[in-house]
Amino acid sequence: MPEKKGLLSRLIGGGSKPAVPPKAKPTAKPAAKPAAKPAAKSAPKEASSAAAKPSAAKPVAAKSAGATTAAAKPAATVLAKGAGGVPLQKPAGAMLASSRPANRPQVKPTITGSNGQPRPTGAPPTAPSRPANRPNVKATVKSAGGSPTATPARPAPRPVPRPAPQQSGPRRIAQEIISASGKRTIRELNMQGQRVLLRVDFNVPLSDGKIVDDSRIRAAVPTIKALLDGGASVVIMSHLGRPDGRVVDGLRLRPAAERLTQLIRVNVPTTGDALGVGTDDAVRRLRPGELLLLENVRFHAGEERNDPAFAERLASYGDVFVNDAFGAAHRAHASTVGIAAYLPSYVGLLMEQEVEALSNLLDKPARPFAAIVGGGKVSGKVAVLEALIKKVDLLILGGGVANTFLVASGRSVGKSLYESKMVDDARRILKLAQDRGVRVLLPVDGVVAKEVTRGTEFKVVSTDKLPASWHMVDLGPSSITAIREALVPIKTILWNGPLGVFEIPSFAVATRELAKVAAEKADAGATVVVGGGDSIAALRQLGVAEKMTHLSTGGGASLEFLEGRDLPGLAVVPTAGSPYETLPIVYVSPVKPGSKVAPKRAPAKPKPIIKPSVLDDEDDESETLA
């Protein structure tokens, strides 16, 4: 042992006390013994490890610079061998280095930021330059020579609200896209993965909470199925009745949602409100192939005012906007017009079908062409009657509209409904028809009643001798026969509005008889287009609705279109194939007589102003005739 100790002392450099070989797996940190201060050259920088814990492997000390230690009692431990096989020692009091693989150099760890550059320890992290779920890779695109060219990867394009610039130039129409309406339809839309905000017209008649006629719901089914089959999720909007900005429980859309569920065999949940936290959450949870019906949008006053804030809030529920509500297309409301300023806009299949059918009537009808106009009031139909006089060969009038024309022709109508202020307009239309050689067929007899109620007394009288205290509620048998005979040579029929008080079965005889005649003409090959809720209801009661060439869901909208006016809900949709979006359009409602004029507000930016139609009736043209 003495010879061994002396040998170790000579190899280390002359220490008075030899180093003790370390154990294979030290279990506890050995107590450091006091040692003399080492020489300046015996403590290299690599040996001063900062607060490192001892590891289970052999401790490693710093490399010796070749100098000897001058300590009286060195406590160095043999740790490793240096160059030439000389063992290295750790100075007394130094911490043991942390464990690491032998093939990994001891370097100071660095933290890399999102930009790939090292970030100092303790510095705040930089903001990510890409989504966390997208790798930072570059796509390669082969050039014409075949060599790959590095290009940055781009996400899939998504439609965003993009109003057209002020000087965007004329719109380009793609020749391969054919649209009967001339507007951009859902056939141009890549709907896969899109959330579509769909405006429909579910303004259906209700009785004790049950739907009386579901024609408008059925008409929206093709567009809804097309969107679902295309991989979209659909958020549906609609109105029902006139709640005037208040919540009316009897005008909620739950019955419409239940009926739509039965028709498409897909669950259609409804929200408690058109806006709100619950609605936001329901929209976010929608998956492709799922539907959601928002509550009645007219529960909010901003709907009928076309409030931009309300429209923008609705627009946040979708990626694109599709308007398929032809029955409300003549309304300049937030859900029909305002949303188009924030989302790319399209028309649905129903809107396209409506425009095509009505355009064919005006542009290329088969002659002779007859128009049958009923309903309660003539005030909203003066312009359309003047337009029809220039198109048709026969004009048949019924309902309250006929009463005003009877007065204009010099007859009395008793207590029947008519508009005294419109008598002069009726005379002008009769004169225009006479000048153009158009036959106008007025009732020659009618059903009169003491009261317009169920179970009241009624009788048939001539229109030349109407009792002063009675109401005319339906056409008489002679008038029905005259209509049937006049329609024999007709090849194109346009019918809008009932001929009597259709809500009371006793006074709906003429309307049902006309429905039978229309079915017979359709079977014979004539073109028959029917509009108005009560007119279509009469056809469905008889089971002949499917025989018609087209059933229009629009009451006032179809009349305005036939008149030749632009429908606001259709005007805001870009032309078919157009790469541009429409500019925001502000529609100003006309001031009604006797109402106070609100003070004018200074507009933030000048925008084109288009006034809507003066027709302010309900979408259906059914009115009480007394």
The whole-number pLDDT of residue 98 equals 46
User: Are residues 488 and 578 both part of a single domain?
Assistant: no
- Mean pLDDT, the chain, rounded, equals 74
For residues 445 and 463, give the distance between their C-alpha atoms in angstroms, rounded to a whole number. Answer: 5
Q: Which residue has the higher pLDDT, 104 or 507?
A: 507
- Considering the domain boundaries, does residue 287 fall inside one? yes
- Mean pLDDT of the 422-431 span: 92
- Considering the domain boundaries, does residue 37 fall inside one? no
Q: If you count DSSP H runs as helices and E runs as strands, how many of each does the chain have, helices first?
A: 15, 24
Residue with tokens 């999102």: 114
User: Are residues 288 and 435 both part of a single domain?
Assistant: no
pTM across the whole model: 0.63
Task: Give the list of residues 6+ apart from residue 83 with CB closer than 8 angstroms, or none.
Answer: none
Q: For the beta carbon of residue 587, count every other beta carbon within 10 angstroms.
A: 18
492, 366 Cβ separation under 8 angstroms: yes
For residues 529 and 548, give the distance between their C-alpha atoms in angstroms, rounded to a whole number. Answer: 7
Last residue in a domain, options 42, 61, 95 = 95
User: Are residues 380 and 322 both part of a single domain?
Assistant: no
- Considering the domain boundaries, does residue 490 fall inside one? yes
Mind giving me the DSSP string for 75-127?
---EEEE-GGG-EEEPPTTPPPPPP--TTS------EE-TTSSEE-TTPPPPP
User: Are residues 480 and 435 both part of a single domain?
Assistant: yes
Helix ranges (DSSP H) in 253-348: 254-264, 277-284, 301-304, 308-315
The whole-number pLDDT of residue 76 equals 41
User: Are residues 345 and 397 both part of a single domain?
Assistant: no
Q: Which amino acid is at 211?
A: I
**DSSP bridge pairs for 440:** 395
- Considering the domain boundaries, does residue 546 fall inside one? no
User: Are residues 206 and 330 both part of a single domain?
Assistant: yes
For residues 108 and 118, give the distance between their C-alpha atoms in angstroms, rounded to a whole number. Answer: 12
For residues 416 and 422, give the distance between their C-alpha atoms in angstroms, rounded to a whole number. Answer: 15
| Residue 606 reports pLDDT greater than 60 | no
Phi-psi region of 85 (alpha: psi -120 to 50; beta: other; left: phi over 0): left
- Considering the domain boundaries, does residue 124 fall inside one? no
509, 500 Cβ separation under 8 angstroms: yes
Q: Which residue has the higher pLDDT, 75 or 196?
A: 196
The distance of Cα 74 from the centroid of its chain, to the nearest Å, equals: 83
CA distances, 230 to each of 190, 226, 263, 511 (Å): 8, 6, 18, 41
User: Are residues 88 and 213 both part of a single domain?
Assistant: no
Looking at the structure of the chain, the number of domains it has is 3
Give the pLDDT band of residue 163 (cuts 50, 70, 90): very low
Q: Which residue has the higher pLDDT, 217 or 88?
A: 217
373, 497 Cβ separation under 8 angstroms: yes
User: Are residues 348 and 418 both part of a single domain?
Assistant: no
Per-residue tokens: 577 = 């194939």
193, 232 Cβ separation under 8 angstroms: yes
Q: Which residue has the higher pLDDT, 188 or 40?
A: 188
For residues 340 and 319, give the distance between their C-alpha atoms in angstroms, rounded to a whole number. Answer: 11
Q: Which residue has the higher pLDDT, 145 or 389?
A: 389
- Mean pLDDT of the 470-491 span: 94
Q: Which residue has the higher pLDDT, 297 or 579?
A: 297
- Considering the domain boundaries, does residue 178 fall inside one? no
User: Are residues 317 and 375 both part of a single domain?
Assistant: no
Just list the catalytic residues. 216, 377, 533, 556
- Considering the domain boundaries, does residue 108 fall inside one? no
**Sign of the dihedral defined by the CA atoms of residues 272, 276, 281, 283, in that order:** positive
**DSSP bridge pairs for 458:** 449
Give per-residue pLDDT as tens, 224-238: 999 999 999 999 999
302, 325 Cβ separation under 8 angstroms: no
| Residue 359 reports pLDDT greater than 50 | yes
Residue with tokens 């020579």: 145
Give the pLDDT band of residue 172 (cuts 50, 70, 90): very low
Q: Please return the burial class of 169, using the count of CB atoms within 10 Å of its CB with bins 0-12, 13-18 and 19+.
A: exposed
Phi, psi of 550 (to 5 degrees): -155, 135
User: Are residues 516 and 373 both part of a single domain?
Assistant: yes
User: Are residues 401 and 483 both part of a single domain?
Assistant: yes
Give per-residue pLDDT as tens, 523-554: 999 999 998 777 887 888 888 888 999 988 88
For residues 108 and 121, give the distance between their C-alpha atoms in angstroms, rounded to a whole number. Answer: 10
The whole-number pLDDT of residue 446 equals 92
For residues 504 and 515, give the distance between their C-alpha atoms in angstroms, rounded to a whole number. Answer: 16
For residues 214 and 263, give the distance between their C-alpha atoms in angstroms, rounded to a whole number. Answer: 10
For residues 181 and 414, give the distance between their C-alpha atoms in angstroms, rounded to a whole number. Answer: 45
- Cis, bond preceding 155 (omega within 30 deg of 0): no
User: Are residues 194 and 342 both part of a single domain?
Assistant: yes
Give the pLDDT band of residue 581 (cuts 50, 70, 90): low
**DSSP bridge pairs for 528:** 493
- Considering the domain boundaries, does residue 547 fall inside one? no
- Mean pLDDT of the 507-527 span: 93
418, 590 Cβ separation under 8 angstroms: no
CA-atom Rg of the chain in angstroms: 43
**Count, residues in the chain:** 626
Domain CATH for 488: 3.40.50.1260
The 8-class DSSP code of residue 183 comes to: B
Residue 480 lies in domain = 367-525
For residues 470 and 119, give the distance between their C-alpha atoms in angstroms, rounded to a whole number. Answer: 94
Query: Which of 220, 183, 224 minimizes the C-alpha distance to 201?
Result: 220
